[in-house]
Amino acid sequence: MRKSVTLAAIALLLGACATQPGARPVATAVKPARPDLRSQTVRMTLPPDARTVGDAAEYLLEGSGYSLVLFCKQCPKAAPRLAAEPVSPLAFARPNEITSATRALLLILGERRRLIVDDQLRLVTFDRIGAGL
């Protein structure tokens, strides 16, 4: 009984909030939150024209909401050189494997490299392990 009284009161309040006749409804687009890079998955397949780490990273980041950045004030000086290197053979060890986007990026980078991800700005860059920023 008490639930039905509460539901009736809510229905009356909602009815009072209804739009006036002739008023245009206003709609706003809701953008779903994109997951961070660590929770996104990709298929470890690279196109033939992705020969450098930078090309492969751009391909893997496509549609993720993240961008590759190589030249910025805080970017490691090694980032542009690493982007120009050929894709690591590790990236081709298990073709068509479904893996996390961060692991895929680490595979194209190869050994003794690190991935730097800024989830707030949705940026990605790389550096050599042991190198300072």
Domain that holds residue 51: 37-128
Residue 60 falls inside a structural domain:
yes
Q: Is the pTM of this model over 0.85?
A: no
Tens-digit pLDDT string for the chain (133 aa): 554 444 444 444 445 444 556 656 565 665 556 789 999 999 999 999 999 999 999 999 999 999 999 999 999 999 999 999 999 999 999 989 999 999 999 999 999 999 999 999 999 999 999 865 4
Q: Which residues contact 61 (CB under 8 A, 6 or more apart)?
A: 67, 68, 101, 105, 124
pLDDT of residue 87: 97
Number of domains in the chain: 1
Residue 82 falls inside a structural domain:
yes
Residue 23 falls inside a structural domain:
no
Residue 28 falls inside a structural domain:
no
Residue 20 falls inside a structural domain:
no
Residue 29 falls inside a structural domain:
no
Residue 48 falls inside a structural domain:
yes
Nearest-angstrom CA–CA distance, 111 and 130: 12
Residue 30 falls inside a structural domain:
no
pLDDT of residue 89: 94
pLDDT of residue 130: 80
